[in-house]
């Protein structure tokens, strides 16, 4: 009996995420649920890799080296960059070699304005070209992914159906380059009026129908719509990387552990789908050191 195309794609995503990860040598409601002696087994150590958003990372090689060394000192496994925010890729490559701190991927920096779902074909082309360049930039620095927001439901000329159809057309144009370079195009769930249920996002990614397309799952963004753990279970192995945020109606986006995300249930759901890969903090806590410690505690790192 042969495997279905869907099961084969999911196995590929899981294997790819594990390979990438292997290259890396509570004051809030749910944080307070941890044992006081802080001796809970760290089940995700060596399985989930801790990063922070870095944008352009630095203005020159000296600045880049200093920033990467600081992340290493604080216990981060790596950092995520941005395209076109990184202005000197050769300098960044040299900084990565010097420090041994990887840049695991990039965020597409034009996706909100030059949207793949725009009713203007010329704007869609700018967005497609930017996505392709981001794929090349990620490959150049040794990354494995590009985070993309695929569009925005903005009115009668940019409906949910428009975002779905137009963005898939543009993403498919870039997939041959992504496949050749080994870079995943990962769709982030955001507050853009698009795919506000896990079933919709699951079906959207499945319609793209490529092992090089998956989900960059934002734990905090979905809390507005439902329990994060339910989304994780529905999306399953389509999730290749994680954005780490917390949120509540009263606090908005807040310090990790001080929102409504049920972190023990998130950990349980991630274990159920056998997640392994990068988890990147987006947003500030009290300090980078605070972020590092909170991620260790909440994700069992």
Structural domain boundaries in the chain: 17-33+40-299
Question: 42: pLDDT confidence band, cut at 50, 70 and 90?
Answer: confident
Closest CA to 102 of 146, 50, 42, 43: 50
What span, in angstroms and rounded, lies between the C-alpha atoms of 258 and 220? 11
Predicted pLDDT at 28: 38
| Over residues 199-203, mean pLDDT | 98
Predicted pLDDT at 18: 47
What span, in angstroms and rounded, lies between the C-alpha atoms of 72 and 79? 10
Q: What is the pLDDT of residues 206-255, one digit of tens each?
A: 999 999 999 999 999 999 999 999 999 999 999 999 999 999 999 999 99
Predicted pLDDT at 40: 62
Structural fold of domain 17-33+40-299: TIM Barrel (3.20.20)
| Over residues 53-82, mean pLDDT | 97
Helices (H), 52-115: 61-73, 89-99
Are 137 and 120 within 8 A, CB to CB? no
Predicted pLDDT at 4: 45
Q: What is the mean pLDDT of the chain?
A: 90
Query: Structure pTM?
Result: 0.88
């Amino acid at each position: 009996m042969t495997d279905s195309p869907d099961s084969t794609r999911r196995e590929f995503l899981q294997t790819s995420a594990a390979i990438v990860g292997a290259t890396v040598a509570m004051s809030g409601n749910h944080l307070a649920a941890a044992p006081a002696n802080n001796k809970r087994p760290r089940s995700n150590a060596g399985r989930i890799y801790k990063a922070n958003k870095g944008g352009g990372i630095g203005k020159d090689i000296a600045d880049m080296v200093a920033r990467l060394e600081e992340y290493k000192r604080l216990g981060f496994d790596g950092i995520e960059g941005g395209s076109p925010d990184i202005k000197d890729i050769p300098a960044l490559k040299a900084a990565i070699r010097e420090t041994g701190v990887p840049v695991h991927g990039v965020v597409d920096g034009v996706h909100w304005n030059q949207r793949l779902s725009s009713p203007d074909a010329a704007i869609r082309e700018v967005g497609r070209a930017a996505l392709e360049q981001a794929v090349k930039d990620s490959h150049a620095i040794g990354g494995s992914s590009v985070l993309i927001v695929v569009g925005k439901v903005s009115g009668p000329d940019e409906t949910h159906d428009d975002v779905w159809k137009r963005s898939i057309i543009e993403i498919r144009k870039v997939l041959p380059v992504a496949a050749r370079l080994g870079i995943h195009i990962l769709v982030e769930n955001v507050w853009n009026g698009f795919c506000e249920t896990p079933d919709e996002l699951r079906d959207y990614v499945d319609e793209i129908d490529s092992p090089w397309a998956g989900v960059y799952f934002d734990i905090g963004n979905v809390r507005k719509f439902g329990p994060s753990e339910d989304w994780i279970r529905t999306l399953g192995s389509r999730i290749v990387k994680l954005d780490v945020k917390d949120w509540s109606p009263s606090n908005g986006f807040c310090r990790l552990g001080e929102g409504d995300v049920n972190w023990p249930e998130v950990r349980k759901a991630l274990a159920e789908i056998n997640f392994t890969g990068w988890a990147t903090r987006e947003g500030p806590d009290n300090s980078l050191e605070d972020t590092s410690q909170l991620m260790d505690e909440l994700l069992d790192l």
